Amino acid sequence: MKSGEHEIAAREEVNRFLHLLAEYGLSLEGLVRNNPRSWRERERAKRIAGMLADDPELMNYVKTNHCPPPALSRIIDPADRSILERNFQYITALSWIRSRPFPVLTGYLQGADTHTMLRVKGIVLQQHGRRVTILTEDGEFRDYPSRKGIKQGQEVAVRDYSEIGTYA
């Protein structure tokens, strides 16, 4: 797929994801606020999201009831139960990305360790005013200051947690 076609496909995929969030009363702002704070907690939340995404019955329960399935609480350890309760919105969003046809966004959840102190790679989910919300390769939903020319669905690298650069 050519670069322009990839950007259009990524933008359409991001729009489908945002509509799915809105359909279930979730927002990117809420996901940014409810990100797991530590790398270890985020990795555990991603593992729980994978368990949810791999089980259609559990996903159906979440879709219908908008709460964690009791069956999932029985198969995860007690420490993960608190992560499930504390980060349920985040886990739900990741499980939707993994269980639905979102190949571009799924790629960001399976990205290599590109997160360093100097740069983090991500995809722009939404631009609001002078800020953008990005899904990073390590599975975080983050807000950053924006600059002109940044578009939804565009791959970006954030340097020093503030300066956004784009990929050609």
Contacts for 87 with CB less than 8 Å, ≥ 6 apart: 34, 35, 36, 41, 45
Domain architecture of the chain: domains with CATH: 3-107 (no CATH), 119-166 (2.40.50.140)
Give pLDDT tens digits along the chain (168 positions). Answer: 556 787 888 999 999 999 999 998 999 999 999 899 888 999 999 999 999 999 999 999 998 998 899 988 888 888 888 999 999 999 999 999 999 889 989 887 775 554 555 578 889 999 888 888 999 888 889 888 887 778 899 888 887 656 666 654
Residue 58, pLDDT score: 93
pTM: 0.85
Largest alpha-carbon pair distance within the chain?
A: 48
Structure tokens at 72: 């999932």
